[in-house]
Structure 1
Amino acid sequence: MAELSFPLPDLGEGLIDATVLEWLVAPGDQVERNQPLVEVETTKSSLDLPSPQAGKVLRVNGEPGETINVGDELIVFEVADDSAGIVGTVPQETAPKRRVRLSANLDDD
């Protein structure tokens, strides 16, 4: 088992923080991917943040009414292995690199 931290994501439009309104999960809860975790409020709106993956909630950070900065740890999960949370792979370049030569016609007519 591994611990995986989920920071408060960038909520867009230059927002730098959010206020915790209500936790929808508690330490010890088992959550599924996309399950709502917490309701937060920004200067623009309130919204539920979904879980980025399945796992067991180990810790939540921020009491209702407390402000959390973007990038600060919001919640910590216990997950099955270290690769949890990684979605997809980076494509590898398969075609060989070709060198391209440009030539100029320098004829003086």
Structure 2
Amino acid sequence: MAEATFPLPDLGEGLISAHVLEWLVAEGDWVERNDPLVELETTKSSVEIPSPQTGRVSKLHVAAGGELDVGDPLVTFTVEEQAGIVGTVPEDRAPQRRVRLIPPED
């Protein structure tokens, strides 16, 4: 087992912080990837953030009503290690980027 911390993601449009309206999980809960995790409020709207992975919620870093900045720890999960390292993608599974070079016109 390993721990993986999920930070507050960039919510777009220049938003740098958010308030926790309501936690939809509690410490000790088991969550599946994409299960509802938390409701956040920004200066522009309210948004529900889904769980980024499957695992047990081991720590909620901010209480309901609290504020945090983008990149601050939001929640920590206890997860099963896969392929030896949590959160990495083996090279043979990594997305491939294709670049097409176009020669300059004379």
- TM-score of the alignment, normalized to the shorter chain, above 0.5: yes
Partner Cα separation in structure 1 for residue 71 and residue 38 of structure 2:
16
Match of 1:98 in 2: none
Asked if the contact 1:52/1:85 (under 8 Å) is kept, the reply is: no
Aligned-partner residue type, residue 77 of structure 1: F
Deviation, 1:92, is 8.7
TM-score, normalisation: structure 1? 0.78
Deviation, 1:15, is 0.3
Of the three residues 61, 71, 96, the one matched with 1:91 is: 96
Asked if the contact 1:24/1:38 (under 8 Å) is kept, the reply is: yes
Asked if the contact 1:53/1:84 (under 8 Å) is kept, the reply is: no
Kindly tell me the number of residue pairs found equivalent between the two proteins: 93
- CA-atom RMSD, angstroms? 1.9
Gaps of 5+ in 1: 94-109
Partner Cα separation in structure 2 for residue 85 and residue 50 of structure 1:
17
Gaps of 5+ in 2: 99-106
TM-score, normalisation: structure 2? 0.80
**% same residue:** 57
Match of 1:104 in 2: none
Match of 1:25 in 2: 25
Match of 2:34 in 1: 34
Q: Could you say what secondary structure the match of 1:11 adopts?
A: coil
Whether 1:71 aligns to 2:71 is: yes
Partner Cα separation in structure 1 for residue 23 and residue 35 of structure 2:
12
Q: Which of 1 and 2 has greater Rg?
A: 1
Q: Deviations over 1:2-23 (max 9, x none)?
A: 0000000000000000000000
Match of 2:47 in 1: 47
Deviation, 1:84, is 4.0
Partner Cα separation in structure 1 for residue 3 and residue 75 of structure 2:
10
Asked if the contact 1:38/1:49 (under 8 Å) is kept, the reply is: yes
Q: Could you say what secondary structure the match of 2:48 adopts?
A: strand
